[in-house]
């Protein structure tokens, strides 16, 4: 019988490390993660991950101890697991408009975004601009995430001042240090895609997001109002029509908060909105998307979903 594999674990602050003796070479790293919960309780640190310092790769929980014997694994709090949790919260609020794929053990996340964007099509008959509703990007989390921001590689053809295929991009008016979360980053990226926040290159800028397509910049400048109108309708739409008031509608699922009579509005929260308040509200502010009305003398408000508000803000409230 061989010796028990030794694995060295560096603490999340990088100042200390200790060794862990695995019972067998086949023991999964999940056992090591369990042993670290006393030092890194979920209530204080959130999910933790282990990164191989020699390669910078994430070590999946099902990996056997023998494959990483005698290596130094660094503890990362709020790493990939928490990033995926934030994307799950955003996916619920945006319904079918946001999705992702993550290969276990990888620090890259493939994003799929279904929002209207402009694409230029060139042919022998000339060029034309069309609206395309499907886009792809790749997020790569560095090994010192979340102290350092993810890298974003834009993959889809697009006619946009600040985005271009197969190039690294960054959302306009967004600084990672102001709101270091994947949820806020992807929200800011969506706002850039639809044209809510764009940089047209009128002034010198030291921001990471520079003009990548001067033709697109000129076109967006000429059509600024139309782009902004489409962007707001896209981002702040009601996903499902509300027929009458919530009590009379059969096509929505809601919970009631408040009184049925009196001067204060009765507030109806969709199940999606309740989840968004719990999952998104703890990280940043957001718009409540819904509808309001009156039933006789009684006012009511229906909240369908939450749209996270990036730190650059949006001074004009959406009208719905």
- In a shared domain, residues 99 and 209: yes
Banded model confidence at residue 110, pLDDT cuts 50, 70, 90? very high
Q: What is the pLDDT of residue 224?
A: 87
Determine, yes or no, domain membership for 18.
Answer: yes
Q: What is the pLDDT of residue 253?
A: 61
Q: Which residues contact 71 (CB under 8 A, 6 or more apart)?
A: 7, 8, 52, 53, 54
Query: What burial class does residue 1 get, using C-beta atoms within 10 Å of its C-beta: 0-12 exposed, 13-18 middle, 19+ buried?
Result: exposed
Beta bridge partners of 262: none
Domain count, the chain: 3
**Phi and psi at residue 314, in whole multiples of 5°?**
-155, 100
Mean pLDDT over 173-187 rounds to 90
Q: What is the pLDDT of residue 204?
A: 47
Q: What is the pLDDT of residue 203?
A: 46
Residue from 185, 192, 194 nearest 132 by CA: 194
Its pTM surpasses 0.85: no
Determine, yes or no, domain membership for 319.
Answer: no
Determine, yes or no, domain membership for 320.
Answer: no
Determine, yes or no, domain membership for 269.
Answer: yes
- In a shared domain, residues 87 and 72: no
Residue finishing a domain among 77, 108, 128: 77
- In a shared domain, residues 72 and 100: no
Examine the pLDDT at 101 and tell me if it is beyond 90. Answer: yes
Examine the pLDDT at 115 and tell me if it is beyond 50. Answer: yes
**Distance (Å, rounded) from C-alpha 231 to C-alpha 192?**
9
Structural domain boundaries, residue 303 = 246-308
- In a shared domain, residues 103 and 153: yes
Listed range (69-73, 184-188, 218-222, 256-260) with the worst mean pLDDT: 256-260
- In a shared domain, residues 32 and 121: no
| pLDDT averaged over every residue in the chain | 82
- In a shared domain, residues 168 and 211: yes
Residue finishing a domain among 58, 77, 96: 77
Residue finishing a domain among 216, 235, 254: 235
Provide the sign of the torsion angle of the four alpha carbons 53, 43, 61, 151, taken in this order. Answer: negative
- In a shared domain, residues 151 and 63: no
Mean pLDDT over 154-168 rounds to 93
Examine the pLDDT at 116 and tell me if it is beyond 80. Answer: yes
């Amino acid at each position: 019988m061989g010796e028990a594999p030794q694995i060295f674990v560096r603490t999340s602050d990088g100042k200390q490390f200790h060794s862990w003796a695995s019972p067998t070479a086949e023991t999964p790293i999940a056992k090591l993660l369990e042993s670290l919960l006393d030092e890194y309780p979920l209530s204080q640190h959130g999910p933790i991950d282990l990164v191989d310092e020699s390669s910078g790769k994430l070590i999946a929980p099902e990996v056997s101890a023998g494959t990483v014997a005698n290596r130094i694994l660094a503890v990362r709090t709020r790493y990939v697991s928490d990033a995926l949790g934030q994307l799950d919260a955003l996916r619920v609020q945006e319904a079918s408009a946001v999705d992702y794929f993550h290969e276990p053990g990888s620090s890259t996340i493939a994003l799929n975004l279904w929002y209207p964007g402009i694409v230029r099509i060139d042919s022998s008959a000339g060029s034309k601009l069309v609206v395309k509703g499907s886009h792809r990007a790749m997020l790569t989390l560095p090994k010192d995430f979340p102290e350092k921001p993810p890298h974003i590689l834009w993959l889809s053809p697009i006619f946009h001042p600040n985005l271009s295929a197969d190039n690294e991009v960054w959302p306009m008016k967004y600084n990672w240090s102001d709101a270091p979360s994947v949820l806020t980053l992807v929200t800011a990226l969506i706002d850039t895609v639809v044209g809510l926040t764009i940089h047209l290159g009128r002034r010198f800028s030291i921001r990471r997001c520079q003009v990548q397509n001067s033709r697109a910049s000129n076109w967006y400048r000429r059509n600024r109002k139309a782009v902004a109108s489409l962007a707001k309708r896209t981002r702040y739409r009601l996903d499902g029509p509300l027929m009458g008031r919530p009590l009379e509608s059969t096509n929505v699922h809601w919970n009631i908060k408040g009184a049925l009579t009196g001067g204060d509005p009765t507030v109806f929260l969709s199940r999606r909105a309740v989840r968004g308040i719990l999952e998104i509200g703890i990280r940043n502010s957001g718009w409540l998307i819904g509808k309001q009305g009156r039933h006789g003398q009684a006012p009511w408000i229906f909240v369908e979903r939450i749209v996270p508000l990036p730190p650059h803000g949006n001074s004009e409230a959406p009208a719905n």
